[in-house]
């Protein structure tokens, strides 16, 4: 199935890097460049795609393609800032049609994860559309919301200011 994804990306001139399964990587992975205009270079620069292993057997042919992108932002150590970030993520996630932003406190980073179910027992004529729309959707989420995460983290904007101004 990952080869079908590669073919779709190639046919649509989407830049990607393929990482085959190896000793250090338990599954095949594709990295897609995340292109957002006027974006600081230290912020997200790729979307990782993997098929979650073992799902097909449990679901009788349903595969789970996971899109994953990390916001390369050193999270502020202040608890109040972390709380503001989590409150903002909760509000954003409530409105998202797909995917979720998550603050991983153990690793001090924010990531966006989205899962796409693909029925392998059927012909996936619309797989190209699903893949391209998901990539666009993730890029759009980062374009709209990441600047708010950065501003809260850098203490130039608070969650309360965002709510008061009606930014989201």
Tens-digit pLDDT profile for residues 138-160: 888 888 888 899 899 999 999 99
- Closest by CA to 118, choosing from 69, 52, 20, is 52
pLDDT for the residue 18: 96
We report the CATH number of the domain holding residue 23 as: 3.30.1460.70
Q: Do residues 146 and 71 make contact, with C-beta atoms less than 8 angstroms apart? A: yes
Share of the chain above pLDDT 70, in %: 92
- Closest by CA to 110, choosing from 30, 52, 43, is 43
> How many domains, the chain?
1
pLDDT for the residue 32: 92
Q: How many helices (H) and strands (E) does the chain have?
A: 5, 6
List the domain range (segments joined by +) for residue 131: 2-165
Q: Do residues 86 and 60 make contact, with C-beta atoms less than 8 angstroms apart? A: no
- Closest by CA to 70, choosing from 107, 96, 95, 36, is 107
Tens-digit pLDDT profile for residues 73-89: 889 999 999 999 999 99
Q: Do residues 5 and 131 make contact, with C-beta atoms less than 8 angstroms apart? A: yes
Tens-digit pLDDT profile for residues 10-48: 998 888 999 999 999 999 999 998 876 666 666 667 899
């Amino acid at each position: 199935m990952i080869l079908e994804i590669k073919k779709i990306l190639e046919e649509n001139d989407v830049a990607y890097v393929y990482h085959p399964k190896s000793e250090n990587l338990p599954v095949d992975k594709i990295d897609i460049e995340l292109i957002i205009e006027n974006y600081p270079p230290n912020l997200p620069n790729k979307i990782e795609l993997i098929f979650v292993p073992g799902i097909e057997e449990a679901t009788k042919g349903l595969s789970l393609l996971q899109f994953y992108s990390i916001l390369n932002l050193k999270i502020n150590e202040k608890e109040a800032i972390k709380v503001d970030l989590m409150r903002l993520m909760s509000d954003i996630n409530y409105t998202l049609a797909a995917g979720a932003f998550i603050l991983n406190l153990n690793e001090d980073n924010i990531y966006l994860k989205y899962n796409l179910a693909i029925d392998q027992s059927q012909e996936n004529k619309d797989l190209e559309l699903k893949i391209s729309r998901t990539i666009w959707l993730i890029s759009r989420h980062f374009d709209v919301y990441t600047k708010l995460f950065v501003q809260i983290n850098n203490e130039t904007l608070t969650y309360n200011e965002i709510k008061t101004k009606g930014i989201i």
